[in-house]
Structure formats: C-alpha cells, structure tokens
Structure 1
Amino acid sequence: MHTPRGAGAPTEAVAGIDFTVHRGEAFGFLGPNGAGKSTTMRMIAAVSPVSGGWLRVLGMDPAADGPAIRARLGSVPQDDTLDTELTVRENLLVYGRYFGFPRAVIRERAAQLLDFARLADKADEQVEALSGGMRRRLTIARSLINRPDILLLDEPTTGLDPQARHLLWERLFRLKQQGVTLLLTTHYMDEAEQLCDRIVVMDHGRIVAEGSPAELIARHCTREVLELRFPPDRQQDVAARLGGIGDRLEALPDRLLVYADDGEDALAAVHRGGVEPLTALVRRAGLEDVFLTLTGRTLVD
C-alpha cells in the first residue's frame, strides 16, 4: 500500500507521506494528536476520499473499489460499538449478516471466534455485563467474522489493565502468524515495541521517521538514559554543570535526562563532579524517547 502525496492545500491533514505495507506485517502509526494517523487509516479503510496522490489497498483503488476493499478489511475502532442489548454470540451473528454469509457459515465462524477471543463461556451473556477487556476481545472477534486480509486497529488496548492488554497482544500476535496484516495506531510505546514489525512516526501530517522499533531507537537515541531528579531550585544550576556528560542532556520541569551509551558511567561522572541527585535511574532507551525526540514534549490537544 502507498499513501497519497498531498496536493498542497493549506488544510491538508496528511501531506505527502509514502509507505508500503507487506502481507502479514504488523505496521504501526505513532504520533501526537492531530498528526494525521486517523485520517490515514480512514483513507486505507476506503471511508475517506483521497484528495491527491496515489493509494492502493490490496491492489485496488479505494475511489473505484471501496466496497470490494471494505469486504476484505476488519476494523477495530477506538471506542467499542457493540450492541449492548444483544448477547455476545448475537453480536457476532448479526454483524456477520452484513457481509451476506449464509447463517450456517456465520454460526460456525462465530463459534470459532468465541474460542479465539476466550469468550466461549460468555456466549449467552449480555454485552453490558462484560469487563472492558472482554468487550475489546469481542470487538476484535467481530472484526474477524469476514476473515479479513487486513485488520485496522485504532488504539486497541486503551483503558485496559495490564492483564487484559497482554492477552490482547497474544491474540493479535496469533493473527499475524496466520497471515493477517495488522495496521494499528497506539499511544502506548511498549505496545508498539511488542506488536510492530515496522513503525512510522507522524507529525503535522508527515512521516518524520520509519523503521523497526530497534532501528528507530538505535538511530535516534543512545543505548541508555540516565534520569536524575533534583530540588526544583537547583535544577537549572545542575543542568549547566552536567552539560559535558553523555551524548545529550535534556532538562525537563521535574528531572534531567542524560542520554549515554553507558548510563552507569554517566552516573559515575555525575558523582565525580560533586553532584548528588535526589534519585538516579539508569534505563534502556525506548520508543518513547524516540517519539518525544522527534515530535517534542509540548502537549497537543
């Protein structure tokens, strides 16, 4: 798939991005609010028109082949759109009818998906009685009723507890192993590292970085990060004294970040300089460091 190149209008939500996704790949979109992620996903889903450039999904043009594309896609929206007045099983059966499958086929697939989502024992319960994690699993199961080639996931684990998140990750990993292509947006950097083979980081409608999680971390960060906390009234003075330690120093309102290949060596250098932080933490650099380096730390509403 290739996304469109922008036509130059001043209100472009997506401006000249270009990428290809391969079959069976888990491909992630990262970026702050308003970066263009959702617009890109809507164009891929053939529900928002392309105003310029070139886009092909499964070898087809969304402008001419929208119904054929949508028949081969599954979609998991950020907010669950389940029918709470129906049972778990009925949500699958009713949704399957939209694709025109025979009732016997839908019943068979629904039973398989209930097992896949670990909801077989909840099949006859009302949706409103389910936990948040169960609802997300049901939403994913429902999106698979047509056995899609591509599954679009918008913030699939937002609001879930760690146990529910890890179970969903395991289910999604199984789908990828079965050859389903996953396209997802997420604000959880650990989720992107766990699930995605490749990632694009978007900002102001453009792609600012692309690669595997490991490649992005290696390209834009040091191997480790040293986090130092000081009393607020000492922060500015200490930052000036630590300027030569590590590859890069970043001063945040509540702490200092020292980017270095060896965080322990950097901490030793801090102590040798006669500086004693309130707390010190050495950690591995991650996608969150890449994300904030590329898109900044200013809050975007």
Structure 2
Amino acid sequence: MSVGRKMRAVTPPQVAERKGGVPLVCLTAYTTPVARLVDPHCDVVLVGDSVGMVLHGLESTLGVTLDMMILHGRAVRRGLSRALLVVDLPFGTYEESPEQAFRNAARLMAETDCAAVKLEGGVAMADTIAFLTARGIPVMAHIGLTPQSVHAFGGYKVQGRGEAAERVLDDARAVADAGAFSVVLEKIPADLAREVTRAIPIPTIGIGASVDCDGQILVVDDMLGAFAEFRPKFVKRYADHAVTASEAIGAYADDVRERRFPAAEHVFSDEAASPVSGGAA
C-alpha cells in the first residue's frame, strides 16, 4: 500500500465470502487504544456486551445498556481503519419484536458508524434477523451458549451435547436462512462445531468450538491474560498482563515510598529547555 493511501475497510459481504477460506481473525475491543492495536491483525473487531463484565465489573452481560454499547462503539470506531466493526445489541433491546430490534440497531449503527450488529438466538430470532437484513442492517448471529440467556441455561455451560445437538443445528440453519452474514458458535462440542460449519453456507466463528470453524474470536482481555483468576478452558493466553501489570505497579509503589520517583529526569528545572533538547519548559 502506498504511503498516505487510506486502507479499505473489510465489509460484511467480504466476511461472508471467506466461507471455507483463510480463517477469519476476530477479537473484541472496547477502547480506542486497544482498537488501534488489534486493527492491523483482525478481519472483524467486535464491541461485545462482554464490556459489562470486562470493564464495568458486572457479574453478567444482562446489565449492559444500549448507551454503554454506543459509548464503547464510538471509542472503538476511532481506532479502526481496516477491520469490520460489529457491535452487540444488548439484552432487552431486540427480543420484543423485529420493529424494536430495527429501531435500536439503526440507532446503534447511526451513532457508532459500525457496519453490522450482533444478536443472540437461533430459531427464535430468525424472523428478526430477516427483518433487519431486508432493511439494510447486516447481522452477525450468535448461537450455542448465548450469555444473555445464562440464567435460562443454569450457568455458562457447554451447549449442544447429546440430543441437544439437533437444536444447535436447527439454530444455525435458521440464522443462515434468515440472512445473517456469519454466526458465532460459543462453547459447543468440537464435533458439533465441525458439523455446523459444513452444514451452513455462512462463515462460523468459534469461541470454545472447533479449529475447523471458518474463524475464531476471543475476548482480547482474556487472551492477553488481564485476569489472573479467570481462565476459561477455551482461552489460550498469549501474554500475562495481570502479572506484568501487578509487578510494574508494585515497583512504582516501592519507588514512591522510597522517594526514588520522581527522579531528576522526571522533574522540571527553573530554566526553559534548550530548543535543541526538545524538552518542555
């Protein structure tokens, strides 16, 4: 790419065309600095309602509001130039009716400049997905373990084992037929994830699913090891930020208590800095 030429953003149709091709790389982001870090590497960046748990300390995603999603969606939008921006519709903003879903999805897109929305549910949400896509709103679906239904599931349990596998397959076929351009498969058995991936014409994006999915997504804070006490089975840690950050904060605290910080190089003198040095007065 030539210097100064604006990078073209990934679009929902381009994601859909990746079915069976090079796996899609997807991560969450909730802030501008993190969005800038992940953008060069990702095809899709999701502002997930997991922001409620990751950044706001909520026990589940159920307390996340549309205003929260818009706030974080705007922040992430400022940090992206290439990746497709998808923003979650939070609990209670789309289940009542297709019309409710359209109003809130349209507001989400207008106020964040995202290119698509994500919503949870399979067969039950098929009519809503069809309603949205017919009106120009690209939809990423989400089936298997759907965190907004955690109480109905009795916890964050694997879905689709045994006879329940057919339900997941039905959900996958329903969202594909309704016009979703991709679908997240969360916390389902690997064999079932492979079967779903082969059964539907849209890309599957796994989280706690199979390496044979058409792409993978993780919560960025999980894969960076930001939580020392939280390590889901399906997360591979590529860094250990909790330990690194704790050590750095501890070192800072020690330096402050021992009056080692700020040192001479961190404070200002009475004299203006020389133009040659580039320092601030």
Note whether the superposition's TM-score is higher than 0.5. no
Q: What TM-score results when the alignment is normalised by the length of structure 2? A: 0.28
